[in-house]
Amino acid sequence: MNLDFDESEVAFRAEVREFLDKNLPADIQQKVRSHAEIGKADTVRWQQILNQRGWGASMWPKQAGGTGWNATQRYIFEEECVFAGAPAQLPFGLVMVAPVIMAFGSPEQQRTFLPKILSGEDWWCQGYSEPGSGSDLASLRTRAERDGDHYVVNGQKTWTTLAQHADWIFCLVRTSSDARQQDGISFLLINMHSPGVTVRPIIMMDGGHEINDVFFDNVRVPVGNLVGEENKGWSYAKFLLVHERTGLALVPQGKRLLVELKAIAAEAMKADHRLRDRIARIEIELAVHEMTLLRVVSASGSKRGPGAEAAILKIRGTEIFQTIYETILQVTGGAYVDPAVANRFFNMRKLTIFGGSNEIQKNIIAQMVLGL
Amino acid sequence: MNLNLTEDQQALQDTLRKFAAKEFSFAKRRALAKEGAGEAISATGFSPAAWQQLAEIGVLALPFEEAYGGLGGSALDTMVVMEELGRGLMIEPYLGTVILSGGLIASLGSDSQKETLLASIGSGESLVALAHQEPGKAFDAEVLTTSLNGPGDGLILNGNKAQVLYGAQSHQVLVSVNEANGISLFLIDSKAQGVTWHDQKMPDGTRVARLELNQVSVSEAARVGGKGAAGPALSRAFDVANAALCAEAVGIIVTLIEITSEYLKTRKQFGVTLGTFQALKHRMVDMFVWSETARSATMLATVRVATGTAAEAHWACAAAKVQVGDAARFVGQQAIQLHGGMGVTEEMAVSHYFKRLTCIAALFGDIDHHLGVVSDVLLAA
């Protein structure tokens, strides 16, 4: 048991660092470091730069155009990107829909969609949640009815992140009401430019426009856009859940933010031992949380089966991240703070809610690990 | 980077788990913990037979160098052992004798001291205690009251020591004194003239003693390490001991979760098992997340003890003691809570595990102490 990276991993880190040094555009880096909004153009530009180097999809296998990296390499890559001030890659295509298309999509779907996800040409969003179906996702009601070579889709999705930029949406839709709720759901790829699709912004409490309602009014979708079999969509969505084990651990992001907090608090900390203890505790929790992530990374190298790791990582990662923002808010002046700082704190409340709320993560652990 | 157990470590884990299940039964543990209650304590307080078996398995010699009859095990092997001893709720004096005293002799002793002492610890013949802490002082105090006086070969020790793990049961004891602007260690016979032990029980039934040293004469040959030179080794020994305690706590925490989860699956109220209530499910999950956190913290501390610098090891052990302390508190208290009335009785194992966890969290620095260690590093940065 050791925490030392071997020679090839050290060399890999140096290679990534050198690449970032030379290729990360200074204007984008500046925006990331100052917490400015990263728009569609910058996200796409960065995806193109990564893709030119062959690093567009760190989690994809080589034959699909990915890097074929192992878990340790991906960990190093993500850490270096975050530390360098690179923007996050859009996860909806790369991390969420692509693995499903690779595992269950037709060869034609793979040829059509994957290259444009890799190149950044297609912007994807996720159509899961509905107004009446949040944590109880299987109760969703957006209907897709077969009409010749098409499905006709009617209904509403909500909380759809960055749908305002999207070319495509992957949706869970109801294709049958006969059986158990979960058994009547299909996984459908819908062109956002189709007639009948309307996007309405939802403004979050920080004033930002990240999320949307998406309405479907008799939207005609070719049957060729159904992934896998009809009424099997729920199992594909669950596959994604198990596939992504380390997604929201927020370890490098937390480490970067802690450096920021320590810099902001440097003077105050000297005189205020209570603040110092708070920051010490965050530092401890983050170091230990990182160790949990490294355990998962290390175990996936040895090909052990997936457990409920992602759920634990999400719970701890999001809690710690929120605590850091809360402490930054406190140190910079509480209620009298710069609204931009307060808004970041407000915005981060989403972390424990999205991606399956932390309470849903607990249900998963109770069932999968404890058998309760 | 590799955080998986080796095949040898898995085999060791397996052997110990089977051994503990057989030899450290709850009934035996309970009887041993009760020994001597209400009277001047004289019985051993642990099972000499189990101790001999641990020697036969090789666990008592595990951390020592092969040149001195040991198995050359690392801090990571010790972690595996301590977790299993925690699961079995062992009452044997492993921490004091093998980890603390054995570790100090291994790092400070002369060749001949190591040859004789490590061999006799490893074979289970000899229990060696560490008497460092003094009444009213911190476990890692550097300024001591115990005095060393006397001309030439006639050195005399006087003073009081506290919290000596299994001191009254020991054959020899390492005693610390201030000398030459540092700390020196002397190894004396536990029954030497002028040595008085006051055996006590910790709340978990393990033994701890107060030691009076009254005109105890020692020779230069009894020194372990150089004059005034034991400070860094002592600090290291407490780090190692804390990492080991954390591993023991992980074994207990994991066991408490198993026991409690089983209870929730069988105990019925309102016509259903307790485990069907979401409030209780989520409480169990919180306990589970804490247990994984405690394990990660322990692994971090252990890896740093094994391969890090002194500063890295000290930081990680302090961090681990904070997080494992939090975990011990939450899991221990909630395991009692979820057992309801049964949880507060002496007949359930859960209460005994809880008591041990409570003692572990207080041994060698509590949460506040160790948070202070990490906090002070921030100040120095």
Domain final residue, candidates A89, A113, A132: A89
Mean pLDDT of chain A: 94
Cβ–Cβ of B1/A294 closer than 8 Å?
yes
B158 part of a folded domain? yes
pLDDT band for position A117 (cuts 50, 70, 90): very high
Whether the CB of B3 is below 8 Å from some CB of chain A: the reply is: yes
Q: Which of B224, B251, B286 is a domain's end point?
A: B224
* A285 contact residues in B (CB cutoff 8 A): 323
Is the model's pLDDT at A247 over the cut of 80?
Answer: no
Q: Are residues B136 and B121 in the same domain?
A: no
> Does a structural domain hold residue A214?
yes
Higher pLDDT, B106 or B34: B106
Q: Are residues A295 and A354 in the same domain?
A: yes
User: Would residue B173 count as lying in a domain?
Assistant: yes
A239, part of any domain = no
Domain of A57 in residue numbering reads as 7-89
Radius of gyration of chain A (CA): 21
Q: Which of A179, A196, A231 is the last residue of a domain?
A: A231
Q: Is residue A115 part of a domain?
A: no
Please check whether residues B103 and B144 belong to one and the same domain: no
Statement: residue A163 has pLDDT above 50: yes
pLDDT for position B30: 86
Q: Do A321 and A255 fall into the same domain?
A: yes
The dihedral sign for the CA sequence B8, B9, B14, B17? positive
Contact A372 B323 (CB under 8 A): no
Q: Which residue of A has its CA nearest to B305?
A: A2
Instruction: For residue B146, give the CATH number of its domain.
Output: 2.40.110.10
The residue-averaged pLDDT of A144-148 equals 97
Pairing of strands A168-174, A124-127: parallel
Q: How far apart are CA A107 and CA A102, in angstroms?
A: 9
List beta partners, residue B158: B147
**Which chain B residue is nearest to residue A75, measuring alpha carbons?**
B1
Asked if B161 and B136 count as a contact pair (C-beta separation under 8 A), the reply is no
Cβ of residue B8 closer than 8 Å to a chain A Cβ:
no
- Which pTM value belongs to this model? 0.95
Predicted pLDDT of residue B28: 84
Contact residues on chain A for B303, CB-CB shorter than 8 A: 1-3
A244 is catalytic: yes
C-alpha distances (whole Å) from A286 to each of A220, A291, A344 are 48, 9, 20
The predicted pLDDT at position A366 comes to 94
B358 and B255 fall within a common domain: yes
pLDDT of residue A150 exceeding 70: yes
> Both tokens of residue B271?
């016509």
CA closest to A276 among chain B residues: B375
The total number of structural domains that make up chain B? 3
* B126, B158, B178 - which closes a domain: B126
* CATH assignment of the domain containing B80: 1.10.540.10
- Domain limit, last residue, from B207, B224, B241: B224
Q: What is the pLDDT of residue A189?
A: 98
pLDDT digits (tens, 9 = 90+) for B128-165: 999 999 999 999 999 999 999 865 557 999 999 999 99
- The answer to whether residues B113 and B179 belong to one domain is no
A59-63, A337-341, B80-84: the lowest-pLDDT one: A337-341
Q: What is the CATH number of the domain that holds A220?
A: 2.40.110.10
Task: With CB atoms and an 8 Å threshold, state whether A365 touches B379.
Answer: no
> Residue A149: its pLDDT value, please?
97
Phi, psi of B168 (to 5 degrees): -65, -20
Decide if pLDDT at B29 tops 90. no
Based on the fold, state whether residues B71 and B209 are members of the same structural domain. no
Q: How many CB pairs under 8 A join A and B?
A: 128
Residue B51 banded pLDDT, cuts 50, 70, 90: very high
Could you tell me if B81 and B156 lie in one domain? Answer: no
With a cut of 80, say whether residue B369 has pLDDT above it.
yes
Assigned domain for B43 exists: yes
The reply to whether B152 and B104 lie within a common domain is: no
- Of the two residues A15 and B151, the one the predictor is more confident about is A15
Contact B374 A365 (CB under 8 A): no
Q: Does the pLDDT of residue B40 top 50, yes or no?
A: no
Do B12 and B111 lie in one domain? The reply is yes
Residue B153 lies inside a defined structural domain of this protein: yes
CA A110 to chain centre: 21
Mean pLDDT for the stretch of residues A20-40: 96
Q: Which of A289, A295, A365 sits opposite B285 (nearest CB)?
A: A365
**Claim to verify: residue B50 and residue B190 sit in the same structural domain:** no
pLDDT at position A276 over 50: yes
> B7: nearest CA in chain A?
A1
pLDDT tier for residue B71 given thresholds of 50, 70 and 90:
very high
Whether chain B has a CB inside 8 Å of the CB on A357: the answer is no
pLDDT of residue B149: 86
By CA distance, what is A9's nearest residue in B? B1
A204: left (phi over 0), alpha (psi -120 to 50) or beta: beta
Asked whether residue B355 is assigned to any structural domain, the reply reads: yes
b/e per residue, B73-93, with b = 16+ CB within 10 A? bbbbbbbbbbbbbbbbbbbbb
Average pLDDT of B70-97?
Answer: 96
CA distances A180 to A128, A171, B27, Å, are: 18, 19, 50
Residue B51 contacts residue B28 (beta carbons within 8 Å) = no
Helix or strand holding residue B161 (H, E): strand B155-165
Q: Among the options A79, A244, A290, A309, which is catalytic?
A: A244
Instruction: Kindly list the distances between the CA atom of residue B26 and the CA atoms of A139, B89, B223, in Å, as whole numbers in the listed order.
Output: 49, 8, 40
When pLDDT is cut at 50, 70 and 90, the band that residue B39 belongs to is very low
Residue A1, in any domain of the structure: no
Stretch among A138-147, A200-209, A239-248, B359-368 having the lowest mean pLDDT: A239-248
Reported as a pLDDT band with limits 50, 70 and 90, residue A244 is low
3-class secondary-structure state, position B178: strand
> Which of A37, A63, A89 finishes a domain?
A89
Residues 310-339 of A with CB under 8 A from B: 312, 315-316
A245 or B179, which is more confident = B179
C-alpha neighbours within 13 Å on the C-beta side of residue B131: 37
Q: How far is the alpha carbon of A24 from chain B, nearest alpha carbon, in Å?
A: 28
Nearest chain A CA: its distance from B311 CA (Å):
15
* Cβ neighbours of B295 in A, within 8 Å: 295
Tell me if A101 is assigned to some domain.
no
Does A227 share its domain with A271?
no
Region B220-224 average pLDDT:
95
Tens of pLDDT, residue by residue over A323-336, are 999 999 999 986 67
Q: What is the mean pLDDT of residues B24-43?
A: 70
- Same domain, yes or no, for B237 and B368? yes
Where would I find the H helices in chain B?
A: 7-23, 26-34, 48-57, 75-87, 94, 102-108, 111-113, 119-122, 231-266, 278-307, 310-338, 349-362, 367-380
- Domain of B286 in residue numbering reads as 231-380
Whether A168 and A208 share a structural domain: yes
Of B5, B257, B303, the CB nearest to A2: B303
For residues A187 and A255, membership in a common domain is answered with no
CA torsion B15-B17-B19-B22 (nearest 10°) is -150
pLDDT band at B42 (very low <50, low <70, confident <90, very high): low
List CB contacts (< 8 A) between B249 and chain A: none
Determine, yes or no, domain membership for B1: no
The token duo for A2 is 């050791």
Q: How far is A30 from chain B (nearest CA, A)?
A: 27
Chain B hits for A273, CB-CB cut-off 8 Å, are 375
Residues B84 and B32 in one domain: yes
**Tally of domains in chain A:** 3
Position B36 scores a pLDDT of 61
Q: Is residue B2 in a domain?
A: no
> Which pair of structure tokens corresponds to residue B276?
């069907």
Give chain B positions within 8 Å (CB) of A258.
none
More confident residue, B29 or B378: B378
Residue whose token pair is 């307060």: A342
Task: Clarify whether residues B270 and B338 are in a common domain.
Answer: yes
The answer as to whether A253 is a domain residue is: yes
pLDDT of residue B158: 95
Residue in A270, A292, A371 closest to B292 by CB: A292
Mean pLDDT of chain B: 94
Point out the residue among A288, A365, A369 whose CB comes nearest to the CB of B293.
A288
Chain A contact for B309 (CB, 8 A cutoff): no
- Cβ contact (<8 Å) for B299 and A291? yes
Residue pair B165/B100 in contact (Cβ under 8 Å)? The answer is yes
CB contact under 8 A, A292 and B296: yes
Same domain, A139 and A47: no
With vertex at residue A341, the alpha carbon angle to CA A338 and CA A344, rounded to the nearest 5 degrees, is 145
* Inside any domain, residue A294: yes
**At B261, which CATH number?**
1.20.140.10
